[in-house]
Amino acid sequence: MVGIFNGSLFLVDEGSLLMGKGGDSEMEWINCTALKKGHRVIAGRPWDSIPGQAPRAKTGDSVFFISRSGRLLQLSASLKGFKWKDCKNPPGARIASIVDQEIFRENIVFTVGRNRRLYQYNKITDLWHEHHQSQHLVLSRSLGTATRPAAELSLRGSLFMLSEEGKLAEYKRSTADGWNWIEHGSPGINVKLVRAPGPCFEGSQLFLVGSDGNVHLRLMDQGEWRWVNCGFPNDEYESVVEVTDEFQGGLQREEKNSPFEHCHPRSHQLDPYRFLEML
pTM comes to 0.78
Give the rounded percent of residues in the chain with a pLDDT score beyond 90. Answer: 44
Contact in structure between 211 and 191 (CB atoms under 8 Å)? yes
- Lowest pLDDT segment from 90-104, 130-144, 235-249: 235-249
Q: Which is more confident, 26 or 249?
A: 26
What would the mean pLDDT of 1-21 be, rounded to a whole number? 82
Report the pLDDT value the prediction gives residue 8, as an integer from 0 to 100.
80
Give one DSSP letter per residue of the chain, joined into a string. --EEETTEEEEEETTEEEEEEE-SSSEEEEEGGGSTT---EEEE------TTS-----TT-EEEEEETTS-EEEEEEETTEEEEEE----TT--EEEEEEESSSSTTEEEEEETTS-EEEEETTT--EEEPP--TT--B-SS--EEE--S-TT---EEEEEEBTTS-EEEEEEETTTEEEEEEEE-SBTTB-B-S----EETTTEEEEEBTTS-EEEEEEETTEEEEEEEE---TT--EEEE--TT--SSPEEEE---S-TTS-SS---S-TTGGGGG-
**What pLDDT, in 10s, does the model give residues 215-251?**
999 998 888 999 999 998 765 544 444 444 444 444 4
What integer best gives the mean pLDDT of the chain?
80
- pLDDT over 90 at 127, yes or no: yes
- CA Rg, the chain, in Å? 19
- pLDDT digit string, tens, across residues 170-216: 999 998 899 999 999 999 999 999 988 877 887 789 999 999 989 99
Confidence of residue 76 (pLDDT cuts 50, 70, 90): confident
